[in-house]
């Protein structure tokens, strides 16, 4: 707050009211990138004790904000300049909304009068209209006295119900508006109970329990909503007390340790078609689960249901029946729903039939033995498996470390090979399979949790946010980036079908040295051509907590096009 010299009446302004409103609501970090009209805002925020983490591209601070929201259940804040900066941040806002991560994109904007008359202001754009279809809610504040309400609404919209992205438009003029300090203070709102519990109805709980009781081959599917909900102990109790096998989706890995005997992850293709009753906890039946039907689920044709009955726990009522019939919808927050189920099962709940559990165990043992054999090989050049065998050991020895992961093969193999031991430790490309989250997530995870971060990156994936290694060095974050370098998108072996001097569209510069990038900013670069070198580099990075980038040379012929989702590539009908 400033004191005016002439009247000695305390006045405040738009800058300070936004800062005070955020602080009042426990928001103490902003991920941003300065410029007109928000440069002074970043300075003032820092002066007022907010941690301002400044990035090199807004998509990355947007991703940082989104994952901060996932990790903390508080909206992560991304701050950008107008038009181009706003648009750069928008991908992250849309991705956060798609993934149900709470974040608020705050962008400065140009003068309303000029924008609306389209008179060509500096960075002119009707940002509010553009943001609206890509997020849960969008608000603009024209008067400083409305900041308190706007920030409160933005916070509520981001974290209540199904979490998601919110856009807050702050025109340049508004920052400088002044008002009486006491009135300004009074105008701020400390949000009470921003994400109210949503208790499921007793009938819905009863219906779910009755269906679960009839199951001969039950299965529980945990999604990233379950990780977000932070109901870890109750979810574990539900699984252990019912004895039902479970499958974790990618970012739900670690809610229970992946080595848990009830994990059916190594028997996924057996349990999905085999199950007769499936309990979904914070997981949608979207493309990642083959829409709950088709051959994956034991259906005859690709649109036929497999005959399972579904119980679905979700906070968003409209999620029910989005792909197949949900026989027992359980609408509410996961914490409340799971504890209601726990109360209902009591102590004498019968374990699932032994033949179901036995068949799963048999499948698991077989697949795990096969995997162990593959991991034990030590081919030259190093491939995904031999490299990931190292990462697997490192995470086992450092279960608190956070694993960020993107790429195609680099993603799919890591997900299936590297066991997670604790909740919310695996952060990845999520629902869209988006590339570019890597360094934003890594910076955020390190800043928010203080833990070591290991980012396993395909070389293509890394390129989307690679410049943020400077940010990692600048803030001296304990991040170890491992670039799985196989010379291209997917693989490095394509050739130009026309035979000209250009390389194929999926091919990069051969034998690039990504490790040199981080050295430019004072970080530690390493070059690893075999598992022993990779192990040494990763161990050293974890020990020293120094910003590190390891260029891990991977066989350029390893992997497949698009990893596990090759079949999603459309096929040309025309034969050449
Ligand atoms: P995954 O990709 O891991 O399967 P999804 O992103 O598809 O997970 O699903 C997450 C689901 O969790 C969304 O439908 C969302 O509405 C739901 N969800 C998020 N938070 C909660 C919560 N606290 N309580 C109940 N449901 C939640
Ligand atoms: N652009 C964006 C924003 N997201 C995407 N998912 C893609 C493009 C397409 N894409 C994938 O789906 S994976 C991938 C791209 C470009 C990179 C795969 O190559 P990689 O990993 O080097 O990162 P692997 O391990 O070599 O397969």
Rg (CA), the chain: 25
Q: Kindly identify the ligand whose nearest atom is closest to the C-alpha of 564.
A: 2
Band of residue 480 on the pLDDT scale cut at 50, 70, 90 = very high
Between residues 346 and 149, which one has the greater pLDDT? 149
In terms of Cα–Cα distance, which of 477, 472, 491, 481 is closest to 528?
481
CA dihedral of residues 286, 288, 289, 291 (deg, nearest 10): 30
What are the residues facing 328 on neighbouring strands?
Answer: 311
What gap in Å lies between CA 288 and CA 296, rounded to an integer? Answer: 11
Q: How much is the average pLDDT of 57-68?
A: 98
Q: Whole-number mean pLDDT of the chain?
A: 96
Predicted local confidence at residue 348, as pLDDT: 86
The pLDDT of residue 574 is 84
Long-range (24+ apart) CB contacts under 8 A made by 234-241 are 234/335, 234/338, 234/339, 234/342, 235/281, 235/334, 235/338, 237/342, 238/338, 238/341, 238/342, 238/345, 241/342, 241/345, 241/347, 241/349
Q: Among the atoms of ligand 2, which is closest to the Cα of residue 457?
A: 23
Alpha carbon nearest to ligand 2 atom 6, residue: 434
Pocket residue to mutate for ligand 1, from 66, 100, 286, most atoms within 8 A of Cβ: 100
Q: How many helices (H) and strands (E) does the chain have?
A: 22, 20
Max CA distance (Å), the chain: 85
Name the residue at shortest CA distance from atom 5 of ligand 1.
283
Check whether 232 has a pLDDT greater than 60: yes
* 1 pLDDT more than 70: no
Question: Per DSSP, what are the bridge partners of residue 507?
Answer: 488
User: pLDDT, tens digit, for every residue of 358-389?
Assistant: 999 999 999 999 999 999 999 999 999 999 99
pTM over 0.95: yes
**What pLDDT does 576 receive?**
64
Give Cβ neighbours of residue 247 (< 8 Å, ≥ 6 apart): 219, 220, 221, 222, 263, 264, 265, 268, 271, 272
Return phi, psi of residue 364, to 5°: -60, -50
Question: CA 492, 493, 494, 496 torsion: positive or negative?
Answer: positive
Nearest-angstrom CA–CA distance, 343 and 237? 11
- Residue pair 524/548 in contact (Cβ under 8 Å)? The answer is yes
Q: Identify which of 74, 160, 223, 338 to mutate to test ligand 1's pocket (most ligand atoms within 8 A of the CB).
A: 223
| Alpha carbon of 100 to ligand 1 centroid (Å) | 7
From 62, 63, 407, give the residue whose CB has the most ligand 2 atoms within 8 Å, as the site to mutate. 407
Give residue 487 CA to ligand 2 midpoint distance, Å. Answer: 13
Nearest atom within ligand 2 for CA of residue 433: 6
Do residues 264 and 271 touch, judged by C-beta distance below 8 A?
A: yes
């Amino acid at each position: 707050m400033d004191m005016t010299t002439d009247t000695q009446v305390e006045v405040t302004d738009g800058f300070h009211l936004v800062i005070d409103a955020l602080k009042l609501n426990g928001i103490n970090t902003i991920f941003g990138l300065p410029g007109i009209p928000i440069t002074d805002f970043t300075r003032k925020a820092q002066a007022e004790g907010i941690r301002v983490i400044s990035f090199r591209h807004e998509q990355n601070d947007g991703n940082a904000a989104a994952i901060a929201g996932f990790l903390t259940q508080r909206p992560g804040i991304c701050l950008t300049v107008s038009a181009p900066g706003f648009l750069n941040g928008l991908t992250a806002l849309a991705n956060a909304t798609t993934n149900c991560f709470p974040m608020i994109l705050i962008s400065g904007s140009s003068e309303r009068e000029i924008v609306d008359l389209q008179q060509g202001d500096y960075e002119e754009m009707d940002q509010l209209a553009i943001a609206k279809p890509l997020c849960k809610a969008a608000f603009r504040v024209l008067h400083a006295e409305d900041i308190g309400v706007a920030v409160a609404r933005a916070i509520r919209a981001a974290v209540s119900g199904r979490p998601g992205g919110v856009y807050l438009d702050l025109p340049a003029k508004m920052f400088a508006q002044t008002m009486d300090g006491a009135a300004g203070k009074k105008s701020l709102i400390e949000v009470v109970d921003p994400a109210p519990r949503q208790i499921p109805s007793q009938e819905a709980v009863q219906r779910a329990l009755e269906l679960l009781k009839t199951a001969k081959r039950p299965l529980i599917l945990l999604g990233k909503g379950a990780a977000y909900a932070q109901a870890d102990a109750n979810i574990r109790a539900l699984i252990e007390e019912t004895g039902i096998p479970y499958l974790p989706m990618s970012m739900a890995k670690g809610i229970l340790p992946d080595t848990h005997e009830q994990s059916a992850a190594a028997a996924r293709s057996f349990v999905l078609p085999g199950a007769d009753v499936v309990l979904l906890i914070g997981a949608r039946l979207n493309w990642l689960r083959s829409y709950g039907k088709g051959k994956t689920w034991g259906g005859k044709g690709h649109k036929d249901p497999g005959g399972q009955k579904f119980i679905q726990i979700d906070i968003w009522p409209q999620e029910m029946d989005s792909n197949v019939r949900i026989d027992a919808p359980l609408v509410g927050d996961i914490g409340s729903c799971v504890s209601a189920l726990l109360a209902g099962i009591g102590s004498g709940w019968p374990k699932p039939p032994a033949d179901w559990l036995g068949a799963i165990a048999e499948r698991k043992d077989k697949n795990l033995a096969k995997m162990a054999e593959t991991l034990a090989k030590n081919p030259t050049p190093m491939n995904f498996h031999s490299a990931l065998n190292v990462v697997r050991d490192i995470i086992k020895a450092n279960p608190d470390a956070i694993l960020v992961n993107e790429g195609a093969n680099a993603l799919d193999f890591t997900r299936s090979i590297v066991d997670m031991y604790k909740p919310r430790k695996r952060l990845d490309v999520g629902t869209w399979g988006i590339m570019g989250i890597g360094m934003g997530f890594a910076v955020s995870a390190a800043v928010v949790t203080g833990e070591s971060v290991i980012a396993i990156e395909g070389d293509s994936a890394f390129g989307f946010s690679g410049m943020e290694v400077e940010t990692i060095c600048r803030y001296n974050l304990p991040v170890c980036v491992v670039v799985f370098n196989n010379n291209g998108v997917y693989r490095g072996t394509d050739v130009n079908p026309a035979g000209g001097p250009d390389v194929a569209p999926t091919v990069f510069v051969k034998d690039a040295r990504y490790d040199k990038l981080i050295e430019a900013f004072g970080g530690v670069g390493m070059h690893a051509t075999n598992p022993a070198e990779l192990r040494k580099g990763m161990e050293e990075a974890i020990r020293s907590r120094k910003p590190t980038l390891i260029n891990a040379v991977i066989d350029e012929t390893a992997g497949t096009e698009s990893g596990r989702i090759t079949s999603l590539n459309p096929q040309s009908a025309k034969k050449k």
